[in-house]
Chains A and B, each alone.
Chain A
Amino acid sequence: MSEQEHQNIQLADEAINKQTTTLNLGPTHPATHGIFENILEIDGERVYSAKQTCGYIHRAFEKIAERRPYYQVTPLTDRLNYCSAPINNMGWHMTIEKLLGIKTPKRVDYMRVLVMELARIADHLICNSVVGVDTGALTAFTYVFQWRELIYEIYEEICGSRLTTNMGRVGGFERNFTDVAWQKIDKFIEGFPAVMKEFEDLLTRNRIFMDRCIGAGPISAERALNYGFTGPNLRAAGVDYDVRVAHPYSSYEDFDFKIPTGTTGDVYDRYLVRNIEIWESLSIVKQAVEKIQQLEKDDPTQKDVFYAEEADKYHLPPKEDVYTKMEALIYHFKMVMGEIDVLPGEVYHSVEGANGELGFYLISDGGRCAYRLHFRRPCFIYYQAFPEIIQGGLLSDAIIALSSLNVIAGELDA
């Protein structure tokens, strides 16, 4: 090769003659918030077509789950949608409870609802504030993160960890909520509304934000349903499907809340739906606290109820008992070694995750591990629609469409 030739990049003819530009958005791109690869064909600034790739952080959870005793699957579920790990944990516990036919006490249900709604608030906060970041408004993001931090502190008080929580056990929680946890929950309920109000004031009627978001990345209700959309993205398109209402679990039927819907399914509608859901979740959290207090007032012994008695065989005994009581030690050992068998059966259970219907399809053949466990991951299903959503729009719309869809890499790739 001569020096002259060497200085020229060799391109195929079709690459030179074509009218569009190929742009690699990702896999590691600061604006895609995760490992998403999108190969866009752009004409000037218009997106002509897009092709997405996934699987960059595939960790074979479904295969691993076939070799793990049931309680060891909980940490795997943490890593699906890691922005709202407690919802995944609770969903998994409820799946096993459904398989075993365990009925949890009301107080446990309300505690779960409380934690799940806090997780939903944390997840929606990230998603909406990141839409702000991608439109150029960093203030809101850093501001609300203080309050997401408080939610993480509450998790920490409840289960000891923050992001990947591994919270709860089959039949309830591993321990009761501490006084500090209750204090922090009260602090959140008191302080958060003013912050949320300010967050909305910063963005919702902000002219620049509205101009960027309205009409960007829309999807019709019909297409959204055909694409298997669930959660806030489906509701933004105008379909009021919410698992919490359609198939109530964990005593959601006792709570009073609204399901917000949008009309156009664009970025702005998704943003609004999430905001209203945050308010609704906050109201559910308040109701849950009141209901728990009412239970304790009616019957003071309820204060110590944090797991179902009938789940004793599946619930690790308290640590102090393990060290002092023979029976507790035996149970602890059996459970940790995975010697507790589960009945054969086939069960599908779904919960309303922060970004859609999170389903667990579990087949048990009576062994110590699942014969087959499949996660219905909402992101994985609705991310297919991404090329259709961004086609014909501006490149910058593609970025905010991706962040407003709330695609979480961990859940996408499982």
Chain B
Amino acid sequence: MALTNEIVKKRLTDKFGESLTEWEEQYGLLTCTMPADINMQVLQFLHDDDELAFRFMTDLTGVHYPDRKGEELCVVYHMYNMVAGFRIRLKAYVPVEQPDIQSSVELFSAANWMERETYDFFGVNFVGHPDLRRILNVDEMEHFPMRKEFPMEDPTRTDKDDEMFGRGDAF
């Protein structure tokens, strides 16, 4: 049976009720936000359920929203049901002061490096990850470079006016 956004949404709301919020269907891709502390329950439910069967982790990454106070860092999961050819996107927000979220490595081996990458660039702390180290940047780095406050250019430079290039003052 083909999955549709309605079916998946209904199954998820039946199971998790009001805790899943911010339902969206941008460009047809069902998206919702889950509380960071139940991320593994949701992923496990999606994985184990025979109808939903989201057993392939397509992508895991992070986004930094400095304006969302108290939930600055967003972890984005793209889950895929390979039999039905159906994709959903799940988001979990964590505060930048204490960015803890459960690791999904036990369920998906693919998550190992993607979580390391997200840690490396955003500083999200994946609790229960077997080997949470930096992966692409040097081990001695002190920053989390994909956070918005980390400037692309050397901020002490005076010869280049950012107003005219890139995003200007945006960050």
Contact = CB atoms under 8 A, between A and B. Distances in A.
**Interaction A to B:** yes
A381 B61 CA distance: 12
16 contacts: A66-B167, A68-B166, A99-B27, A228-B57, A228-B58, A337-B164, A345-B27, A347-B26, A359-B78, A363-B63, A367-B167, A368-B166, A376-B58, A384-B110, A384-B112, A413-B136
Interface string B106-124: 0011101110010001000
B26 A345 contact: yes
B45 interface: no
A361 B78 contact: yes
A66 B136 contact: no
Contacts of A346: 24, 26-27, 31
B29 interface: yes
Nearest to A344: B26
Nearest to B55: A225
B152 A58 contact: no
Interface of B: 24, 26-27, 29, 31, 55-59, 61, 63-64, 76, 78, 82, 85, 87, 89, 108-110, 112-114, 117, 121, 134-138, 145-146, 150, 152, 164-167, 170
A290 B87 CA distance: 34
Given A67-B165, A347-B26, A372-B63, A225 B56 contact: yes
A67 B26 contact: no
B76 A361 contact: yes
A239 interface: yes
Contacts of B134: 55
B146 A98 contact: no
Contacts of A228: 56-58, 108-110
Contacts of A368: 166-167
Given A347-B26, A381-B110, 6 more contacts: A54-B136, A55-B138, A99-B27, A228-B58, A228-B109, A372-B63
Q: How large is the interface on A (under 10, 10 to 19, 20 to 34, 35 or more residues)?
A: 35 or more
A187 B119 CA distance: 50
A67 B152 contact: yes
Nearest to B150: A63
A227 interface: yes
Contacts of A246: 85
A414 B31 CA distance: 26
A152 interface: no
A241 B112 CA distance: 22
A306 B134 CA distance: 44
Given A348-B89, A384-B112, A374 B61 contact: yes
Contacts of A369: 166-167
Given A228-B110, A347-B26, A367-B167, A64 B58 contact: no
A247 B85 contact: yes
Contact of A67 (B55, B87, B136, B167): B167
Contacts of B166: 66-68, 368-369
Contacts, number: 99
A348 B87 contact: yes
Contacts of A385: 109
Contact of A348 (B78, B112, B146, B152): B78
Interface string A228-267: 1000000000010100001100000000000000000000
B137 A55 contact: yes
A60 interface: yes
A380 interface: yes
Nearest to A246: B85
A225 B82 contact: yes
A64 B145 CA distance: 11
A123 interface: no
A414 B145 CA distance: 14
A371 B167 CA distance: 9
Contacts of A68: 166
A371 B150 CA distance: 14
Contact of B136 (A55, A226, A345): A55
Given A239-B82, A359-B59, A367-B167, A64 B137 contact: no
A207 to B, nearest CB: 35
Interface in A65-89: 66-68
B150 to A, nearest CB: 8
B15 to A, nearest CB: 23
Given A66-B167, A376-B59, A226 B110 contact: yes
A58 B137 contact: yes
The 7 closest A-B pairs by CB, nearest first: A228-B110, A67-B166, A55-B136, A58-B136, A374-B61, A376-B59, A246-B85
A400 B165 CA distance: 46
A202 B164 CA distance: 57
A346 B24 CA distance: 10
A381 B113 contact: yes
A409 B109 CA distance: 21
Interface in A378-393: 380-381, 383-385
A255 B57 CA distance: 28
A372 B146 CA distance: 9
Contact of A66 (B82, B113, B152): B152
